[in-house]
Structure 1
Amino acid sequence: MDSDNQAIKQWLRDHQISEVECLVPDMTGNARGKFIPAHQFLDGDDPRLPESIMVQTVTGEYSDEHWEFVEPTDTDMILKPDPSTMRLVPWAREPTAQIIHDCYTQDGELHPLASRSVLRRVLKLYESAGLKPVIAPEVEFYLVARNTDPDSELTPPTGRSGRRESARLSYSIDAVAEFEDFVEDMYDYADAQALDVDTLIHENGAAQMEINFRHGEPMALADQVFVFKRTVRETAHKYGMYATFMAKPMQREPGSALHIHQSLLDAETGKNIFADGNGEPSDAFMSYIGGLQRYTPELISLYAPNVNSYRRLAPDISAPINLNWGFDNRTTAFRVPNSEPAAMRVENRFPGADANPYLALAATLGSGLLGMQQNLAPTKPHQGTANEDAVEVARTLEEALRKLSDTAALRDMFGELFLRAYAAVKLDEFEEFNRVISSWEREHLLLQV
């Protein structure tokens, strides 16, 4: 740890940093933390935050069970900087650094409610098994016109032509060029932060984009998605727009996903264990897919964490509704792309763009690991359109949360305290949302029931 601190201090001095953003991903995957002058960060004690921020709802409230998960005195967590996450803040006026921190208890243990801690637990199990997960996320988002009235529907922003998109323009080069200045600055900001972003495409929705990341180590990629979301929002603000990662921001447009490609390497040989000696899917690969099928119904709330998330998971070709898998079949939940044996992988298409990347990765990697440990067998690969089959996953946040801690294996893997706290926070959000009377209800029920 001393060598880490020395590396951080040298990096801050080399970049003449005047202020440090000490960041902690909260339960939603958004940034909490403190701004600390660089000289104080260099010479002071480890920063601290109250542990109660880990059980705060998206509206800033607390569940009735709040004190079951944190100390009644609202004890401080101790924050430890991860030197691998040091990045400049390219949109800041003064030289500013951002550093993601791990959260620890007063006893020096990783805090069980921190989402980074949850992913670390799963990755530790892989390390003990002699395996190295490799993942590659694909992140979708919408650009929308500024909207300060929550009662008004979102609309696409005006592009450089002075017009708004009104047609489905998947993979359109010209549609992306409408926001060329935004795209160029987004890439510049990503380069300045050493984000491994790869291709950018225009997705199916109006002003909907997708960015692909190069494959790599799960914690590093979770950190990058966390930073990328901040980056896109900041870039959009610069051009008078919003960028949203809501799973389903507009009624007539498709939802936004966080697709996760994943494979496993033997830590000793570096070989992909998902392919056998003949280049065919291995038994381990089949069991991994079996684990995804077995545990996704219980973990769906980690892929779809908000009330809005389930508007995306509807009988439509753009998102999965059941547990089918298939070869190069984008209608299935778990797609095996055509690839060379060394790149044999499965793509989990359940997570929404609104998912906490740390928790979504923990869920998908944890499910696959349990599948291999238990030698689970998947169903036969699906042929044809999977969306024509029956719905097999929860359609509301409440339904999803009621299944979250059914299995002892999941409680052991993620920590019972975390699962109970997560369910309590998200159920509180559901109940608060459920108290809102919608315009649909007023329109169709006011005088007709």
Structure 2
Amino acid sequence: MSTDTKIIQDWLKKHQISEVEVLVPDMTGNARGKFIPAHQFLTMGKPKLPESILVQSVTGEYCEDHWELVEPTDADMLLEPDPSAMRLVPWAREPTAQIIHDCYTMTGEAHPLSCRNVLRKVLDLYAEDGLVPVIAPEVEFYLVARNLDPDYVLEPPSGRSGRRETSRLSYSIDAVAEFEDFVEDMYDYAEAQELAVDTLIHENGAAQMEINFVHGDAMSLADQVFSFKRTVRETAHKHGVYATFMAKPMQNDAGSALHIHQSIVRADTGENIFADAEGRHTEAFLSYIAGLQHYTPELISFYAPNVNSYRRLAPDIAAPINVNWGVGNRTTAFRVPESSPAATRVENRFPGADANPYLAIAATLASGLLGMRRGLQPSAPHQGTANDDEVEVARSLEEALRNLGNSPEVREVFGGLFLKAYAAVKRDEFEKFNRVISSWEREHLLLQV
């Protein structure tokens, strides 16, 4: 029996688990998989799933290029449970475990279409250089009243006072207290899963909240964000409301982001390579920033993966529209918080809450690594409001996909097949969305053109 198998077996026995959720994050960042009774999970060998689930669109459909991306026979892939990604399912009625699995081909190779494998490849590149990324995500989301008709606009839910929020209540303690029962259950669920959630604040939008995670290992935090999204949705259902991670669910309110704080340390000493002992920014730091600036226009679709994502990336103080960086400047895409040398980091403010956490983290870390390896140089730190400058990133999903994989170094990191598959799936989503005639078009074009 392997060490990992023994760890999993002992853990399932300790928690008297009766059922196991075998989970695989798909390209959209959603959970795919199957339920298996615990006793069968321990004796059946490696689970299998069709590899085609990795390239399903957000609507659950397959793109036109589907059979060019996977085997025409719809072959299986082998799943390997990761004991570091093993958690309880606290909302389940019976003792249930959720275990994230890695995907392998039937010949035992890491599956090239797995987003978790993409992130692992980026982390391996850092390991080659004797470096380890440290990240800390910030996840924003909205609570909304139950909405059974997609033609109706979303509304904030009623809080314990019985009233809906109607004004901007950033950092309001009392506004969070309106949803105290939801917050307490969310924290209890997070604690049961050992999610490293930290600070909770009320954000700018009505019933919009933000959770900060404690900094740590990149793969672990990607897994935790993946699990946290499920947790928040389940908690909301328990309280008769919805929780949404759409990038821009409300027309007149701010969008929701997945800001990623990141620093790089030496594997042997733990020393932060972004600052020297006096707190001065190092050449490695400047090249990392330059990498973010250089590769973000090419990788923007990993930060903004849906048609709705680009409604958030508009000239507005809450989201970036260009690749400026600055110290303590929240209007820039890449913000460097004031901090001690050991805590020197950069915050990537591009990713939306709707991003696949594995791909968003992979994209930002790959950009920085390529910047350091190529010795790129950044622009001068921005002074003033960056949103007064020109738009420098795509304004639609289709435009973003045309830029994806333009450089050979990005294709090398992410793999040509993965980039082709991602673009095919997302382009299919864009084309389906583009066929929908909106109420704005009927209102302004029906009789006026």
TM-score by length of 2: 1.00
What does residue range 49-64 of structure 1 map to in structure 2 within 5 Å?
A: 49-64=49-64
Letter in 2 for 1:328: G
- 2:86 aligns with 86
- 1:149 aligns with 149
Deviation at 1:129, TM superposition (A): 0.6
Deviation at 1:277, TM superposition (A): 3.6
The question of 1:105 aligning with 2:105 is answered yes
Letter in 1 for 2:82: D
The question of 1:318 aligning with 2:321 is answered no
- 2:283 aligns with 283
Q: 1:90-133: per-residue Cα shift (whole Å, max 9, x none)?
A: 00000000000000001111110010000001000001110010
Deviation at 1:276, TM superposition (A): 1.9
What does residue range 364-443 of structure 1 map to in structure 2 within 5 Å?
A: 364-443=364-443
- 1:300 aligns with 300
What does residue range 244-283 of structure 1 map to in structure 2 within 5 Å?
A: 244-283=244-283
Q: CA separation in 1, counterparts of 2:78 and 2:152?
A: 42
- 2:237 aligns with 237
> Secondary structure of 2:326's match?
strand
Deviation at 1:269, TM superposition (A): 1.2
> Secondary structure of 1:102's match?
strand
What does residue range 193-232 of structure 1 map to in structure 2 within 5 Å?
A: 193-232=193-232
Q: CA separation in 2, counterparts of 1:16 and 1:187?
A: 23
Q: Is the 8 A contact 2:288 2:367 kept in 1?
A: yes
What does residue range 130-145 of structure 1 map to in structure 2 within 5 Å?
A: 130-145=130-145
Q: 1:40-83: per-residue Cα shift (whole Å, max 9, x none)?
A: 00111211110111111111111111111100001101010000
Q: CA separation in 1, counterparts of 2:17 and 2:278?
A: 53
- 2:159 aligns with 159
Q: CA separation in 1, counterparts of 2:46 and 2:286?
A: 45
Q: CA separation in 2, counterparts of 1:348 and 1:159?
A: 32
Q: CA separation in 2, counterparts of 1:65 and 1:165?
A: 45
Letter in 2 for 1:339: S
Ranges of 4+ aligned residues in structure 1 off by more than 3 Å: none
Q: CA separation in 1, counterparts of 2:53 and 2:186?
A: 30
Deviation at 1:405, TM superposition (A): 1.1
Letter in 1 for 2:192: A
Q: CA separation in 2, counterparts of 1:268 and 1:84?
A: 22
- 2:23 aligns with 23
> Secondary structure of 2:216's match?
coil
- 2:309 aligns with 309
Q: CA separation in 1, counterparts of 2:94 and 2:54?
A: 30
Letter in 1 for 2:95: P
Deviation at 1:315, TM superposition (A): 0.2
Q: CA separation in 2, counterparts of 1:417 and 1:292?
A: 23
Deviation at 1:278, TM superposition (A): 2.4
Letter in 1 for 2:339: S
Q: CA separation in 2, counterparts of 1:368 and 1:427?
A: 27
- 1:331 aligns with 331
Q: CA separation in 1, counterparts of 2:398 and 2:28?
A: 17
Q: 1:230-264: per-residue Cα shift (whole Å, max 9, x none)?
A: 00000000000000000000101100000000000
Q: CA separation in 1, counterparts of 2:339 and 2:276?
A: 14
Q: CA separation in 1, counterparts of 2:109 and 2:212?
A: 34
Q: CA separation in 2, counterparts of 1:123 and 1:35?
A: 30
The question of 1:346 aligning with 2:349 is answered no
TM-score by length of 1: 1.00
Deviation at 1:300, TM superposition (A): 0.1
Aligned residues: 449
Letter in 1 for 2:341: P
Q: CA separation in 1, counterparts of 2:246 and 2:79?
A: 29
Letter in 2 for 1:134: V
- 1:191 aligns with 191
Q: CA separation in 2, counterparts of 1:435 and 1:77?
A: 34
Structure 2: which 5+ residue stretches go unaligned?
Answer: none
Q: CA RMSD in A?
A: 0.6
- 2:356 aligns with 356
Deviation at 1:324, TM superposition (A): 0.2
Deviation at 1:19, TM superposition (A): 0.1
Letter in 2 for 1:208: Q
> Secondary structure of 1:399's match?
helix
- 2:4 aligns with 4
The question of 1:76 aligning with 2:73 is answered no
Q: 1:380-439: per-residue Cα shift (whole Å, max 9, x none)?
A: 000000001000000000000000010000000011100000000000000000000000
The question of 1:119 aligning with 2:119 is answered yes
Deviation at 1:355, TM superposition (A): 0.1
Q: CA separation in 2, counterparts of 1:109 and 1:280?
A: 43
Q: CA separation in 1, counterparts of 2:306 and 2:193?
A: 29
Deviating more after overlay: 81-90 vs 58-67: 58-67
Q: Is the 8 A contact 2:170 2:204 kept in 1?
A: yes
> Secondary structure of 1:83's match?
strand
> Secondary structure of 1:369's match?
helix
Q: Is the 8 A contact 2:277 2:341 kept in 1?
A: no
Identity %: 77
Letter in 2 for 1:39: H
Structure 1: which 5+ residue stretches go unaligned?
Answer: none
- 2:128 aligns with 128
Deviation at 1:279, TM superposition (A): 1.6
Q: CA separation in 2, counterparts of 1:145 and 1:77?
A: 39
Q: CA separation in 1, counterparts of 2:43 and 2:106?
A: 21
> Secondary structure of 1:431's match?
helix
Deviation at 1:86, TM superposition (A): 1.1
